[in-house]
């Protein structure tokens, strides 16, 4: 329905290091299902940073070509495994 989600991330040794970095686009593990009924579907992004980190940031960009069909999300979980 002409909507999409983009997830960006950055990692670093501390918050200042994270703030100084550029955002990296993450790819979802599987295609994002679209629901015209308002039902929510779980989607996972597995991100494997190249370096060890102590801090991370996530940015979610929701896009639509039709302002009457606004992308929606619920119940965000971010789990960092070191």
Give pLDDT tens digits for 39-73.
787 888 888 888 889 999 999 998 888 888 788 88
Predicted confidence at residue 21, as pLDDT, reads 92
Looking up tokens 């801090």 gives: 55
Q: What are the tokens at 6?
A: 């983009």
Rg (CA), the chain: 15
CB 28 within 8 A of CB 11: no
Predicted confidence at residue 4, as pLDDT, reads 84
Give pLDDT tens digits for 18-36.
999 999 999 888 887 777 7
Predicted confidence at residue 9, as pLDDT, reads 93
């Amino acid at each position: 329905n002409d909507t999409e989600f983009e997830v960006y991330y950055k990692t670093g040794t501390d918050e200042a290091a994270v703030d100084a970095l550029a955002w990296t686009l993450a790819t979802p593990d599987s295609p994002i299902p679209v629901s015209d009924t308002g039902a929510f579907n779980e989607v996972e992004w597995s991100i494997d940073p190249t370096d060890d980190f102590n801090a991370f940031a996530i940015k979610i960009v929701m896009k639509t070509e039709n302002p009457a069909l606004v992308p929606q999300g619920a119940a965000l979980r971010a789990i960092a495994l070191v």
